[in-house]
Amino acid sequence: MKRYLYGIVYISIIIFLAGQTAYAFMIHGQNCVPDEILVKFKRGTAEDTQVRILQELGALSIKPSYKNRFKVVKIPEGMLENMLSRFSRHPAVAYAVPNYSLKLYFTPDDKYYDLQWNFPLIHVDQAWDKSSGEGVTVAVVDTGVNPTGHDGFGNRLLQGYDAILGIQGYWQDNNSHGTHVAGTIAQETNNGTGVAGIAYRAKILPVKVLPRSGFASDSNISWVTDGIDWAVENGADIINMSLGGPNSPLLEEAVNDAVNQGVTVIAAAGNHNYNENTQVGYPAAYDSVIAVGAVDYNKQRATYSNYGPELDIVAPGGDTSQDANGDGYMDGIVQETFRQYLGFRYFAVDWNYYFFQGTSMAAPHVAGVAALIKSKHPDWTPEQIRSALLNTAEDLGDPGRDDQYGYGLVDAFAAVTY
């Protein structure tokens, strides 16, 4: 087994410009779609009855979610709070909630860095003697995954789903974030090209829930929920979500259902530069989800990383404000992706090895290690995989579990030999 990659042909600098958000309306301090609400009816309410009630209450249009878990209801603009109250009061409605926006947990920077210091930090090289992720499918619920890079994923990139448009077989990443995240999980490895991935024999199931626009890009609860449901129905063993935002009962229901069906769900804890909020975001904060924070090269909590009682574990997320190992480069997480908004608008161009930082980059480390565990123990439940991850983590901060680091830094070798 070739344990280390010895070179990168060329490392580029990248600058991302945050796009304008499409959601101008805020409720409870959170952005949401101004003319949509999500309505779930009580069990046993007939479909025709649901439609009739929605129309009587003023719905302009009605669209079922992927599994008909809820209805996406179009309402007149300027009536959001009024319609939420109106729908919520109906005795047949379980709840009506805003279609909140969720954000990518990513902190862009224009610095570059050499090789993957993050893998030895969590003993991935030792874990490769025990497992490579074979037989496991990891769903990347993100901006999609672009298949046209030089390093890529071999034949392990599956046909995915665009939850925004509701189209199966289309999942092209026009953003670059999802491709980078997928690379940490399962980049083609030991192929003489570029960089490595943690579970390099696992399959990647791309699920597009975020659009092409910049790293201020928003996703609706409805898209993310549909993406989770589709991933579960299409063979995901593990789901990675490097995104988050406010709480929604529909999102919680979807992740709980996924875990109950044997899927391990992992999510980024969040970067507190969003709304100056240090609390762990959702879906990471749900009990059934493994919430991942970020540390730097020195195993210190990254300054951007959210924390709190919901935090389960930490992983390398990078810190491009420092060069802790003195190699002349800032300490980011490097994977293959492309430059956004260059050349033809809808195509990925300028492929290279870019350095990102954020809890977006930390979560796929844990997803990759979870895939190594699942490959070695295919019959293990999400709870058993969680136990292996948390009980073998390297304790950081105060002794035992603490709010800054959870149970500690993920240890790939210890986890696969648990």
What is the Cα–Cα distance from 232 to 74, expressed in whole angstroms? 27
Torsion sign across C-alpha atoms 348, 242, 273, 219: positive
Query: What is the DSSP-derived secondary structure letter of residue 395?
Result: P
Q: Is 142 a catalytic residue?
A: yes
3-state secondary structure 216-262: CCEEEHHHHHHHHHHHHHCCCCEEEECEEECCCHHHHHHHHHHHHCC
Beta bridge partners of 264: 238
- Which SS3 state, helix, strand or coil, does residue 164 take? coil
Q: Is 177 a catalytic residue?
A: yes
Per the CB < 8 A criterion, the answer to whether 266 and 238 are in contact is yes
Active-site hit among 109, 132, 177, 242 = 177
- Phi-psi map region of 326: left, alpha, beta (phi>0 left; psi -120 to 50 alpha): left
> Between the CA of residue 130 and those of 31, 125, 199, 249, what are the distances in Å?
45, 10, 11, 39
Note if the bond before 206 is cis, omega within 30 degrees: no
Tell me the longest C-alpha to C-alpha distance in the chain.
66
What is the Cα–Cα distance from 368 to 364, expressed in whole angstroms? 6
Q: Is 377 a catalytic residue?
A: no
Active-site hit among 131, 132, 176, 360 = 360
What is the Cα–Cα distance from 365 to 74, expressed in whole angstroms? 38
In the block, tokens 């491009």 appear at 320
Active-site hit among 142, 237, 319, 331 = 142
What is the Cα–Cα distance from 394 to 334, expressed in whole angstroms? 23
Which residue numbers are catalytic? 142, 177, 360
